[in-house]
Amino acid sequence: MLAQDSISRDLVAIKIIKKKVLLQDEVDREGAMAERQALVLASGGVYVTSLYATFQSPEHLFFVMPYISGGTLHQRMAKTQYLEAHSIL
């Protein structure tokens, strides 16, 4: 989901994960927690996006990250089959 920071007015991306799915599948649950931990550890690095915040509602987990235009890595790979070195670095 695309949102706007109420203070800075910057666009942010919010990844929404259904807790119901995580409760039903241990692999998905472990993957979501590993993703959060990796983003926390890598925040501030050059090649990994930052994690601004995480929070939850009774039904969802939310990861707030900077909005980066151009689509997802999955979408880009589906279009080109591979990425040129200059587009990665």
Q: What is the pLDDT along the chain (89 residues), one digit of tens a residue?
A: 999 998 999 999 999 999 998 888 888 889 888 989 988 888 777 777 888 999 999 999 999 999 988 877 778 778 877 777 776 65
SS3 68: coil
- How many angstroms separate the CA atoms of 53 and 87, rounded? 27
Domain ranges, ordered by start, for the chain: 2-88
- How many angstroms separate the CA atoms of 61 and 63, rounded? 7
The reported pLDDT for the residue numbered 75 is 81
Q: Which CATH superfamily is domain 2-88 in?
A: Phosphorylase Kinase; domain 1 (3.30.200.20)
Rg (CA), the chain: 15
SS3 55: strand
